Amino acid sequence: MKKIVWFILSVYWLGLLACTDKGEYIEESGSVFHTLYHIKYQSAKLLTEEIDKELQDFNLSLNPFNPNSIIAKVNNNEPVEVDDWFADVFNKAQEIAARTDGIFDATGAPLFNLWGFGFSKMDSVTPQIVDSIRAFVGYKRIRLEGKSIVKDDPRIMLNFSAIAKGYACDVIARLLEREGVANYMVEIGGEIAIKGVNQNGVCWRTGINKPEDDLDGVNKSIEEVVQPCRQCGIATSGDYRNFYEKDGKRYAHTIDPRTGYPAGQNILSATVVAENCMIADGYATAFMASGSEKAIELAESIPEIDYYLVYLDEQGKHQIACSKGMRAYLPNRKALDILENP
């Protein structure tokens, strides 16, 4: 009997030591790619330097605002070999573009710039300018051959802003895992990668903001809470924080590359949960430009993602649509109540 008790106590203390060895929960925050990041992770050592270096290296690959980055050199037609990060993002962007019939298209960069939502800005917008730019926009006009980007037209430019922040979350998540971190939440500009549990031993949860006009980013009202309880990426796209008004008309940042104009669809926000944040980020953007009917049809055809959409019906009332898988991630079950009791 004494041996059994001793064995049980030994296992108990070993378990406590194992938990202690994992370290305390650490919080990191800062700015990158003209946005803020917040990282929480459990570790026996501080990883600030490693995180900073990874973000700076990433910046030199995929930040179009940095003239020394790979993507800037690609856009300027300078000879450059792309790195693995660039290749990963490019290939996924092309895949999502094909799957959405061009609603998502990273070659729309000149159009994003034209409407004031890219890395440069033109002075005016006319139908003639839009048509002239559309002549060299299209994901089928560019490809990756080995380590080189090949363009059908030298005027083609890339902007991965609709997918790169999500991928940056994945990159930092991989770094943390290489360092032996089992519990973390990485948030960059609202996109999130999670694994394990928080400091209270509870699955990570994040809020979906109410889609209300909020240019200053001060609105913290929560539409819904998402708690997947699995390793995944979560991304939300919405036009309520990135728009401007000119001559009494509102222009939002979601541009449809196929038309060259702001999408102007009825979706207010789109949240996607996927195996990684890059995938979630890309599809959340695509859904915003699709409109609710097309977005739901498209989302239901992609089994590897779950979605939560807030949109306006024909009477201008807020409505919710979400996948069956997403309903299991909603601890407050607000969406489920609305869907079952409209």
Domain boundaries, the chain: 196-340
Higher pLDDT, 195 or 117: 195
The DSSP element (H or E) to which 288 belongs, if any, is helix 277-290
Of the pLDDT bands very low, low, confident and very high (cuts 50, 70, 90), residue 272 is: very high
Which string of DSSP letters, residue by residue, matches 143-181? EEETTEEEESSTT-----HHHHHHHHHHHHHHHHHHTT-
- Of 241 and 207, more confident: 207
Separation of alpha carbons 322 and 304, rounded Å: 14
> Which pLDDT score, from 0 to 100, does residue 9 have?
35
CATH class, range 196-340: alpha beta
* Tokens representing residue 137 in the block: 């926009």
Closest by Cα among 68, 21, 29 to 172: 29
Task: Quote the tokens at residue 47.
Answer: 């990883």
Is residue 255 predicted with pLDDT exceeding 90? no
Of the two residues 176 and 337, the one the predictor is more confident about is 176
Query: Rounded mean pLDDT of 101-110?
Result: 90
139: which DSSP letter?
G
Residue pair 206/234 in contact (Cβ under 8 Å)? The answer is yes
Average pLDDT over residues 218-238: 87
Measure the CA–CA gap between 138 and 258, rounded to whole angstroms.
8
CB 113 within 8 A of CB 122: yes
